[in-house]
Chain A
Amino acid sequence: MPILNPILQIKNLTKSYGSVKALSNLTVEVRQGQVFGILGPNGSGKTTTLSILTGVLEQDEGSFSWFGEKSSASVRRRIGSLIETPSFYPYLSLENNLKIIAQIKDCGFGDIPDVLKTVKLFERRKSRFFTLSLGMKQRLGIASTLLGNPEVLVLDEPTNGLDPEGIAEVRELIMQQADKGKTIIMASHILSEVEKVCTDVAILKSGHLLAEGNVRALLKGESLLEVKADNPQLLLQILGDCPFINHFRAENSAVRVSLKEGSNSADLNRFAFEKGLVLSEIILYQKTLESQFLELVKE
């Protein structure tokens, strides 16, 4: 697989609000074509990160570059960004709002009907922004990011506040754009969203990077079992001798076991039986990003 160009390089980015450290030494790289999720609970520094990257905030320390260039207004015109809630002139029509953005981006008005059709708002193009529902406003926000066909989209909680239908529509839109080869950087506190949409993920907590990597690799991980037996002492002894176990840990009356790749619960059951122990209970846990995430943020 060819090594793709880095689109965004972040080095030691740090930002404090008074005594509160919102972001601490964040170092991340996003490459062309990735759908990069920034995952973290509320207050973990996701919006701070995206605000710095899009010129709204200035970092205290560290640096970042887009397309190998230092960030500037002209670099930002090559990026379609939606940070927090979409902000438009409430008294202007959708068309006029998009015309202002097109003028800022020097991209002409030709794209406006297309992007409005993409987000299914073409019929409402003459309506004033304040007359739109929350979901429509969010869709217009996404339409505005598509103007000028930018190489990169930066989306902060794009499904925030939407109903299930709206969430599905926005996700669909993001995936369509990803299929077109756009690089997408998306912040979210919703794990399932990141799992469904992103190729890569960085997990933040209290401004610190906890983990980063390919979503599939993080998901694949190891299989987890919870096992019980009438003789716990013997169980622990047998597990210690078992060759296809990564590690195990006794928890109350049960033992949590992590199996090596390629082994399953039947193998463990057979191994224990051969050693003269009948397992009274075996529960399989599929390790998800959620359990990874919860484990990480608990630490």
Chain B
Amino acid sequence: MIKLLKIELRKTLNYIPFRILIGLHLVLFIVGIFFLPRVDLKIPFVTILPLYQFPHVWNFTTWISSFYNISLVLLVIMMTCNEFNNKTYKQQLIFGLSRTDLLLQKIILISLLSFYVVLLVGVSSVASGLFYSYKITFNLVFDHSWILAALFVQIFTYLSFGLLFSLIFRNMILSGVVYLMYRVIVEPIIRVNVHEDLRWYFPSKFVTNLTPRPEVLSMIQKNMQGQNQSGDAEIKQMENLMPIGLPIWQNLILTLALIGLLMFASWWILKKRRFN
């Protein structure tokens, strides 16, 4: 495993497009997290500052990070399709890796990327929480930190999708387009055509719902100034109208099962793939 990690790091970290994309991801994430509160200050009577306070900050930064996931999926697609384009999968088999090793290398890559996102979200949550919160206690700070584990599983799943599509299509553009079409067009269309209760059992839904959307409306409301209390009930009602989905533990079980399925499919394809 250590050997595969070293090999994967050598080929990944020395690849300039990888460095650029990771750099962009980092910069855009930081801009998204730390510059939003400044914009917010210009809107009268409304503040989203509570989103940056403990414990809500955990949900909020996790939610923000999900907007940047696509760039990481594209990274995995790029690195995997490169192996086919450069015929380096074939070369590595010849030199003595097994087909399972080829898969393990990429599992290591997606684990590292998932860990990177968790670290980024963890550090920025703690930093902005400490900066913006008025009240800081141990419980308040770490109450929602479990979400980092859910985030890891979530990112890992998205990246596993990217890996599977790359192994199927072996072409960067095709894999990327199919991934996007599946997420943005195919699954949503199927979802709206099935019974309401079944909609939560679609991959994009239960994986996304691993990290619940922050209750933005009620938090903003709490900080509105000069408003009467009657608005409170209305907003609560609006929140209730928004569907909640399955309990977290059910989402987690479904997601873990999905990861198993994606990994098995990837392994099976690599096992059957002709490399010449």
Beta-carbon contact of B276 and A47 below 8 Å? yes
Cβ-defined partner of B86 (8 Å) among A47, A74, A77, A88: A88
Beta-carbon contact of B98 and A73 below 8 Å? yes
B71 to chain A, nearest CB (A): 20
Residues of A within 8 A of B (CB): 47, 51, 54-57, 72-74, 76-77, 81, 83-92, 96, 99-101, 103-106, 144
Beta-carbon contact of A104 and B276 below 8 Å? no
**Bound CA span A57–B93, Å:** 10
Q: Give chain B residues whose Cβ lies under 8 Å from the Cβ of A56.
A: 90, 93-94, 274-276
B138 within 8 A of A: no
Q: Which 8 A-B pairs have the closest CB atoms?
A: A77-B96, A87-B87, A73-B98, A76-B96, A87-B91, A104-B95, A54-B94, A81-B94
Q: Give chain A residues whose Cβ lies under 8 Å from the Cβ of B15.
A: 89, 91
Q: Give chain A residues whose Cβ lies under 8 Å from the Cβ of B97.
A: 73, 104
Binds A, one of B2-10, B169-177, B187-195: B2-10
8 contacts between A and B (CB under 8 A): A54-B94, A55-B94, A56-B93, A57-B275, A81-B94, A87-B91, A100-B7, A101-B95
Chain B residues bordering chain A, tally (CB within 8 A)? 24
- List B residues 2-28 near A (Cβ within 8 Å): 3, 6-7, 10-11, 14-16
Q: Please give 10 more A-B residue pairs, beta carbons under 8 A apart, in addition to A89-B11, A91-B14.
A: A54-B93, A57-B274, A73-B98, A74-B96, A77-B96, A88-B91, A91-B15, A104-B3, A104-B7, A106-B3
- List B residues 70-102 near A (Cβ within 8 Å): 86-88, 90-98, 101
A98 to chain B, nearest CB (A): 11
**Bound CA span A92–B97, Å:** 19
Residues of B within 8 A of A (CB): 3, 6-7, 10-11, 14-16, 86-88, 90-98, 101, 274-276
Take A87-B87, A96-B14, A100-B11 as given contacts and tell me if A105 and B96 are in contact as well, using a CB distance cutoff of 8 Å: yes
**Bound CA span A90–B87, Å:** 11
| Nearest-neighbor residue (CB-CB) of A80 within chain B | B95
Beta-carbon contact of A77 and B11 below 8 Å? no
| Nearest-neighbor residue (CB-CB) of B93 within chain A | A55
Beta-carbon contact of B86 and A87 below 8 Å? yes
A206 to chain B, nearest CB (A): 18
| Nearest-neighbor residue (CB-CB) of A76 within chain B | B96
Beta-carbon contact of B16 and A91 below 8 Å? yes
| Nearest-neighbor residue (CB-CB) of B275 within chain A | A56
B191 to chain A, nearest CB (A): 39
| Nearest-neighbor residue (CB-CB) of A90 within chain B | B86
B109 to chain A, nearest CB (A): 14
| Nearest-neighbor residue (CB-CB) of A141 within chain B | B91
Q: Give chain B residues whose Cβ lies under 8 Å from the Cβ of A96.
A: 10, 14
B3 to chain A, nearest CB (A): 6
